[in-house]
Amino acid sequence: YTDSCIVDDWWMLPIYWDAVSANKNDNTIFRSTADDFLSSTDTKPIFLIGDAGTDSQKSNKVVIDHGVIPIIAARANSVGEIIKKDSGNHFRGEYIPRMYHRLLGKLYDLRTTVERKNSNEVVGHHRSKMSNREIEQARIFVSIPNITALLTALTAFNVGRLDLIRLPSAFRRVSI
C-alpha cells in the first residue's frame, strides 16, 4: 500500500489522505483521490497540482469537472496544446486559462511542498515501513502522522507560535 495525499500549499498541512493499493497506476490513484477530495468539500481550491506521472486527458478532466484548474506537468511528447516553460516543464494549455500561463512555473514549484512533507513523514514517522497486510491497517498507518501534523498545527496556533506549525518535535516535552 501507499498513501495518496492532498496538501494545503500555505501551511503544508494534509487536508485529505487515504491509503491505496501500490500496484495501481498513478493516473488511477490521482483521479480517485482528486474526485474523492473535490466531492467531499464545498470549498474548492483554485488549482490542483500534480506531477507528470498523473498526466492524462482523464486526470485533467476530473479536476476541470469540479471547477478547479489542473496544473499537471505533461510529458514532453504529449499531444495537444503543450506549453513549454523555461524550466523544462510542459503543461497542457487547453486546460489552463491563458491568464495563468505566465505563472505556471511558479505554481508548479509549489509541488515541492508535497515533496518536503513526504520526506518529513518518511524520516520522522518511519513511513517507509507501511504495513502491507490489510487496507485498514495501511489507512491507520497513513492517518497517524497526518493527524499528528494537524494536532501540532492546532497546538502551535493555540499557544500563539505559528512558527511551530510544521515542527512535529516542538511539543514533545509538554506535560499535560
pLDDT digits 0-9 by tens, 93-151 = 999 999 999 999 888 888 876 666 566 555 444 555 666 678 888 888 888 888 988 99
pTM of the predicted structure, to 2 decimals:
0.80
Rounded Cα gap, residues 28 and 108, in angstroms: 21
pLDDT tens digits, 54-100: 899 999 999 999 999 999 999 888 888 899 888 888 999 999 999 99
Rounded Cα gap, residues 51 and 136, in angstroms: 27
Closest CA to 130 of 119, 141, 122: 141
DSSP 75: P
Sign of the C-alpha dihedral computed for residues 75, 14, 136 and 44 taken in this order: negative
